[in-house]
Amino acid sequence: MGDRDWRPFVYGGLASCVAEFGTFPIDTTKTRLQVQGQKLDVNHAALKYRGMIDCFLQIWKYEGFKALYAGIWPAVLRQATYGTIKFGTYYSLKKIVVKHYGSETITINVSCAVTAGALSSAIANPTDVLKVRMQVRGTHGNVSLVGCFKDVYMHEGISGLWRGVSPTAQRAAVIAAVELPVYDYCKSRLLNTFGDSVANHFISSFVASLGSAVASTPIDVVRTRLMNQRKLKHVTGTISTHIYAGTIDCFIQTFKNEGFWAFYKGFIPAWVRMGPWNIIFFVTYEQLKKLY
């Protein structure tokens, strides 16, 4: 491996953190929309928010602008690990495989992306759990990153930090399998028209975000609910540590109680966030490559 192989890891981590800061309030609305409407949850059974904009405005009005950034630090910590490993592993793996086989193919890109996405998300899962818990609580929780970590660890143990790891890894694999190869494909196809320019990076990342949002939102809904479920209550008022027994049970109960479209709760903010997130990320990533 060459002396430049560390750069995709650093560029990926830095670009991910920049993109996270720029789009985090949209992610907060997505999380709130995904947990509402659960029939077994007295706190979220009622549809409090009518959509992304209504959710954004209600959070700002009743909890303050700060609530839109509740969970930002575990999110940034997540991107510092997840983003660094994901993009660094993807581009490094692709470089190794292409060097071995002699040419780049869609199969190679998808395989490298799935591996990178699943591995990085599994490692970074604890930060994702903390982010979701803090987003759902908002300013009402009034808890810091360290305080949230202590709360999860003390009451749920180390396994609590890996709650929802299975759908998280699946979601990351799906997103990576769609997002990274589509971006690389669009970018290469647009080189003759736009060259290696910001316009090319902008269009390619926007197209990639639509595909990944459609493919990953159902898994994302399940992941969010599993990560947040310790704080939920049954309608009887008794504390429940397991509203859903696992990924499959969450899929079944969500479909049974809320119907198919429940799996696309938060789709609009998910896509609206993915678009700018990918644009900020890939433009930042490409500029860092040029800068150094």
* Residue numbers of the domain that contains 245: 7-291
Residue 1 lies in a domain: no
Which pLDDT tens digit goes with each residue over 155-206? 888 888 988 899 989 988 888 888 878 888 899 999 999 998 888 888 888 8
Q: Tell me what percent of the residues of the chain surpass a pLDDT of 70.
A: 90
* List of residues 6+ apart from 66 with CB closer than 8 A: 139
Q: What is the pLDDT of residues 42-74, one digit of tens each?
A: 666 677 888 899 999 999 999 999 999 999 999
Pick out the chain residues at pLDDT < 50: 1-3, 231-235, 238-239
Report the domain count for the chain. 1
Q: Is residue 2 part of a domain?
A: no
- pLDDT of 232 reads 46
In a domain, 277, yes or no: yes
Examine residue 82 and state whether it is found in any structural domain, yes or no: yes
Residue 230 lies in a domain: yes
We report the CATH number of the domain holding residue 57 as 1.50.40.10
- Does a structural domain hold residue 29? yes
